[in-house]
Structure 1
Amino acid sequence: MANDGGNEPVNTGRRRFLTATTAVVGAVGAGFAAVPFIKSWNPSARAKLAGAPVMADISGLQEGQRMILEWRGQPIWIVKRSKAILDALPTLDGRLRDPESKVVDQQPAYVLQGDPEYRSLKPEISVLVGLCTHLGCSPEMVAEIRPEPYDADWKGGYFCPCHKSRFDMAGRVFQGVPAPLNLLVPPHHYQDDNTIVIGVDPEAGA
């Protein structure tokens, strides 16, 4: 599909963890609250751009909330998903471009070892890079299960207003939209039940 202005799609195979300009995070869907950027545990800006890991305390994260961090100049979304959202994910497979996440460089293999439709280490906690895989815009989280103007059977997910790409609440891209790939899942692990470390795989963090 042709791209506006001659821009190439985001080549996540080569540029997966290169520094990207952080886009403004979109509005959160009704009933969902965004948690402010975590600053106290983050390393310096120079260290973050160099790839230093960042940590997040998710002990206060409530169902339906999104926490936003910054790692390597990219927004990282940590979302606590509801049971209704998790139950809806398998029903979307037939509408998605890569429902089984077969493009291997879009996520670490370990996030597919449980239920691959969740793309997460823990079913209820999603960790994604919040940049559209079309041209790098930051999609909006529209997490309520209800009809939307762009999808009468919307089951919650992410909508990019720049060029109308859509992703489900696991970051899997819909068919027939400009974005060619699922949202990235960054390397991460749990230091303990309430602490996520972004930028380090579980084996390295063990």
Structure 2
Amino acid sequence: MANTPPTSGPDGSRRDFLFLATGSGLAVGAGALAWPFVASMAPDAEVIAAGAPLEVDLTPIQEGQIVNVFWRGKLIFIRSRSETEVKEAEAVKLSELMDPQADSARVKEGHAKWLVVYGNCTHLGCVPIGHQGQYEGWSCPCHGSLYDTSGRVRRGPAPTNLPIPPYAFLTDTKIRIGEEGGKAVA
């Protein structure tokens, strides 16, 4: 046998230490490389907030005004209707509607002044323009669908009324979109 220096002490401790130190270093390095990748898959604050309920103060919205807000990346119209608009919407005969739905089914009880609907045409998803068309509701500039002040389709290729998002009144002047009847919508 050749004269080689010993690679470990009498009990083999030097070799064991080198294996343990190398293995630990590799594990820490792998973790350091993997952490940014794993962390990148977690949703950011914007995504988390997008699914959270949205509170809207109705106080600054003037009668006849339509305000646009976004919830979960979707456009929502909030319209403050005048007494005349409410009365006209309530007086429409269901037989005249393409997608029959009473005005009272489209607003919250005791809050007929406030209409809250998704802001995309039900034909191809265009954004209708407010206070336009024969019914003074919304008009889709792309294909000519007309909606009344209750968001009900009256003319054009749109097959259904503007949908109503889940929402609830917290007070007479504040709503929470993403919540219905006091329960958050998942």
Q: How would you bin the TM-score normalised by the shorter chain?
A: 0.5 to 0.7
Residue 179 of structure 1 aligns with which residue?
Answer: 158
The structure having more radius of gyration, on CA atoms, is 2
Q: Distance in 2 between matches of 1:68 and 1:125?
A: 13
Alignment match of 2:131 (pick from 134, 142, 154)? 142
Mapping for residues 141-180 of structure 1, pairs under 5 Å: 141-142=130-131, 154-175=134-155, 177-180=156-159
Deviation at 1:133, TM superposition (A): 0.4
Q: Distance in 2 between matches of 1:92 and 1:165?
A: 18
Alignment match of 1:199 (pick from 178, 181, 185)? 178
Q: Distance in 1 between matches of 2:118 and 2:129?
A: 13
Where 2:183 maps in the other structure, the secondary structure is helix
Structure 1 gap segments, 5+ residues each = 1-43, 102-111, 149-153
Q: Distance in 2 between matches of 1:73 and 1:202?
A: 22
User: Does the CA contact (< 8 Å) of 2:80 and 2:113 recur in 1?
Assistant: yes
CA RMSD in angstroms, aligned pairs only: 1.9
User: Does the CA contact (< 8 Å) of 1:85 and 1:155 recur in 2?
Assistant: no
User: Does the CA contact (< 8 Å) of 1:68 and 1:76 recur in 2?
Assistant: yes
Deviation at 1:48, TM superposition (A): 4.2
Residue 65 of structure 1 aligns with which residue?
Answer: 65
1:129 aligns with 2:108: no
Q: Distance in 2 between matches of 1:64 and 1:161?
A: 21
Give me the TM-score of the superposition, normalised by structure 2: 0.67
For residues 143-167 of structure 1, what are the alpha-carbon distances to aligned partners after superposition, in whole Å with 9 as ceiling and x for unaligned? Answer: 6xxxx5xxxxx23111000100011
Residue 47 of structure 1 aligns with which residue?
Answer: 48
Deviation at 1:87, TM superposition (A): 1.5
Mapping for residues 87-126 of structure 1, pairs under 5 Å: 87-93=87-93, 94-100=95-101, 115-116=104-105, 119-121=106-108, 122-126=111-115
1:75 aligns with 2:75: yes
User: Does the CA contact (< 8 Å) of 1:48 and 1:73 recur in 2?
Assistant: no
1:189 aligns with 2:158: no
Deviation at 1:52, TM superposition (A): 1.3
Greater relative contact order: 1 or 2 (C-alpha under 8 angstroms, separation 6 or more)?
1
* Pair 48,135 (structure 1): closer, same or farther in 2 beyond 3 Å: farther
Task: State how many pairs are aligned.
Answer: 137
Which letter does structure 2 place at the counterpart of 1:190?
F
Deviation at 1:91, TM superposition (A): 4.1
The alignment-based identity, stated in percent, is 36
Residue 108 of structure 1 aligns with which residue?
Answer: none
Runs of 4+ in 1 over 4 A off after TM superposition: none
For residues 35-89 of structure 1, what are the alpha-carbon distances to aligned partners after superposition, in whole Å with 9 as ceiling and x for unaligned? Answer: xxxxxxxxx531244x211111111211011121101111111110001111211
User: Does the CA contact (< 8 Å) of 1:80 and 1:125 recur in 2?
Assistant: yes
